[in-house]
Amino acid sequence: MPLHRDDTDMKNTDNNIRISEDWVHRWGREHEAVKLPDGGYLGMLSVFHELHCIKRLYQTLSPEYYFPNATEQEIATNREHNQHCLEVLRMGAACRGDISIITHMWTDIDARPIVNQTAPHQCVDFSKVMEYSRDNTVDVYQENYIVHPKFGKHIVV
């Protein structure tokens, strides 16, 4: 049985953004970027990649619900994707290095103290992150908008 929660913050809406040619050139990413047919390049804020990874890992807690008919190949592909996601989340945590102090507390069910899960954190205003992403969204789901130069077919990101 899957865990039930509102995962609206984990959907793929407004994730793909247009980044400027200037940004791509300034960072020397011309050979690592997908050029858009109407100008600029395809990009995504890292936070949305991390949220995607959290959603993927969340779904693996109930594979019988989210992947009921997965083949052995799909299971292997999911495992590789999940390993990638764990590395993305590890790098994100190490990069930001949240130094919020977490206390421990006693419980009536274990002789060891447990981590208090209600520690305060200093956060960004996520509504501003969403606003920026929405203001710069690129609809990659348009027919033939993104076409692979070698394979020649529409690719959905």
Q: Cβ-count burial of 12 within 10 angstroms (0-12 exposed, 13-18 middle, 19+ buried)?
A: middle
Rounded to an integer, what is the distance from CA 15 to the centroid of its chain? 9
Q: How confident is the model at residue 5 (pLDDT cuts 50, 70, 90)?
A: low
Q: How confident is the model at residue 8 (pLDDT cuts 50, 70, 90)?
A: very low
| Residue 1 pLDDT greater than 60, yes or no | no
51-105 residue pLDDT tens: 999 999 999 999 999 999 999 999 999 999 999 999 999 999 999 998 888 999 9
* Mean of pLDDT values over 139-144: 85
Show Cβ contacts of residue 92 under 8 Å, excluding neighbours closer than 6 positions.
46, 50
- The pLDDT score that the predictor gives to residue 28 is 95
- The pLDDT score that the predictor gives to residue 141 is 84
pTM above 0.85, yes or no: no
Q: Which residue has the higher pLDDT, 77 or 140?
A: 77
11-64 residue pLDDT tens: 566 789 999 999 999 999 999 999 999 999 999 999 999 999 999 999 999 999
| Residue 4 pLDDT greater than 90, yes or no | no
* Domain spans in the chain, listed from the N-terminal domain onward: 8-135
- Please state, as a whole number, how many other Cβ atoms lie within 10 Å of the Cβ of residue 39: 9
Rounded CA-CA distance 66/100 in Å is 34
Show Cβ contacts of residue 53 under 8 Å, excluding neighbours closer than 6 positions.
84, 85, 86, 88, 89
